[in-house]
Chain A
């Protein structure tokens, strides 16, 4: 396969290799990365705010065991339904559990589901989209009918069926959300592949005898990564929302595990008139986390791929 690398080397700047060359020439990686981040922050202050929010939540999720204030599931009948105070920063729930600890550990579930589910969906959706878009013809026709069929079911109903089938647990929740998100991803990737496939460098790669898997991985994939990353970033927010919705319906990790959705479902609705913090604390956590990913996703899209504006 030396031959087609040589070909690219001679021509220099086929679109597929721009990113590759850039990366190779970037010797002082940290400095360049910082400069890139700084110019991104200057250009898109809201996007930078989104990144900041995401980093805070990632920190909280990773170090949940260190920054929590006691066991999130510790019942404490003497301290039921306490308003936020110096002991319980975010108050306590109807069983006396510390809301701060529960929200901190809920962040772990939310982000884990967000990243893993979107990671799985991106991998599966990208594979399907690459194959469907690149081969076209009958393969595309058949694959797209299956995608259509899955898209036709209401998201919640599929997720519900999947979770019921395999039992409510963290792993199954991630699988269900990934399954639901995959067709959407495959559509985005397919649409981008259809555009890339027209380019001369694909024909050139075929002419010099590159195998199809090699063309897909080395020539097509690098050119569709921008839209994939843009869509995936926003999708993490959607996945967190989906996790909250399913947990809210009792389809998340079984109690007493703390998830933002289940905190709202059971406790908050009954006590909201007397204990507002039960609803406000997890709601705020969900909203800020999703907002962070949405803001970052929006900014990425504006910078990288203006054509995608407003598709979400």
Chain B
């Protein structure tokens, strides 16, 4: 077990290095610089030079990278080149919104998937199963911005009610925060729920045919006990893996939800920072998205090995 974990962590290190490099390089490959965009067209050569010097953009690219990594190592995230605000300040404001959105969405998705997927598997080929399958495959085909548009507009048309937009921190007004976050989280979680429901259903179908489940039935255990303790537990493993893989998609989806529901989160900030060539802010945001994915999949893999001993020995 210890060897497996160490090996898995060792494999993660080069990926972290690559992602750090990628986050840095991605924006610098894009033509146009923050200096040009910021100063407009009417700037003199001297102004450009001065701004570049101020942002440290006059140094060679490799040196810029090393300076950035060095600052990161010392806990200095740098500053936004657009607003000159500290990135850490920006993050403190934006991170909670995106984290809450992503967590709520995965919580909603997992709950729906476990209930719907298990129900469908137990009642295989019944009308209930077919309905669930139909809803999930349709759900996969509807883009989340379409769902969001419908959710924002239909209540307004039918009942003259407006879905609350915007964001208040959880610590300020817990209830109002939940009211505003529940709708974007539902939509963000819908696609994940559809994917996971299909997965729970198919793995449950497989597990329910296993010998140990038949044994559990044969020795007269209660149905609920067999389903929850013997079958579902084993069906959860692949679900967990896919959930880990889908985190990247979920985080990407926050961009659209944040822009449609006016939530000042990291997703929309990344979009704007890339558009403004705000290297300072964008590279940190992209790095954080990457690291969240890397550590989530690391955690999932280790947890998987812990639960399923077969993994450790292969």
Q: Footprint of B on A, CB under 8 Å?
A: 141, 145-146, 148-158, 160-161, 164-165, 237, 241, 244-245, 248-249, 261, 264-265, 268-269, 272-273, 276, 279, 283, 286-291, 294-295, 298, 309-312
Contact = CB atoms under 8 A, between A and B. Distances in A.
30 contacts: A145-B18, A148-B18, A149-B290, A151-B248, A152-B248, A153-B26, A155-B252, A156-B253, A157-B252, A157-B274, A157-B289, A160-B255, A161-B26, A161-B27, A161-B29, A164-B30, A164-B274, A244-B143, A249-B259, A261-B143, A272-B152, A279-B150, A279-B153, A283-B146, A286-B142, A287-B146, A294-B140, A298-B137, A310-B199, A312-B198
Given A154-B248, A290-B140, A145 B11 contact: yes
Interface string B245-278: 1001101110110010000000100110011000
A264 B271 contact: no
For the complex, would chain B's binding face be called helix, strand, loop or mixed by DSSP majority?
A: helix
Interface string B127-166: 0000000000110111101100110110011000000000
B286 A286 contact: no
A289 B141 CA distance: 8
List the 7 closest pairs (A to B, CB-CB), nearest first: A310-B202, A154-B252, A149-B18, A290-B141, A156-B252, A291-B141, A272-B153
A310 B203 contact: yes
B156 A273 contact: yes
Contacts of A164: 30, 274-275
Contacts of A245: 143, 145, 256
Nearest to A248: B145
A268 B15 contact: no
A265 B152 CA distance: 14
A248 B11 contact: no
Contacts of A269: 149, 153
For the complex, would chain A's binding face be called helix, strand, loop or mixed by DSSP majority?
A: helix
Interface string B172-196: 0000000000000000000000010
B137 A249 contact: no
B14 interface: yes
Residue from the set B140, B141, B156, B274 with the largest chain A CB neighbour count within 10 Å: B141
Contact of B157 (A156, A160, A276, A309): A276
Contacts, number: 146
B141 A294 contact: yes
A283 B148 CA distance: 12
B78 interface: no
A249 B254 CA distance: 13
A244 to B, nearest CB: 5
Contacts of B289: 152-154, 157
Interface string B291-314: 101100000000000000000000
A161 B24 CA distance: 12
Nearest to A141: B11
Given A164-B275, A286-B146, A287-B141, A153 B15 contact: no
Interface string B1-28: 0000000000100110011001000110
Contacts of A157: 252, 255, 270, 274, 286, 289
Nearest to B20: A149
A293 B146 CA distance: 19
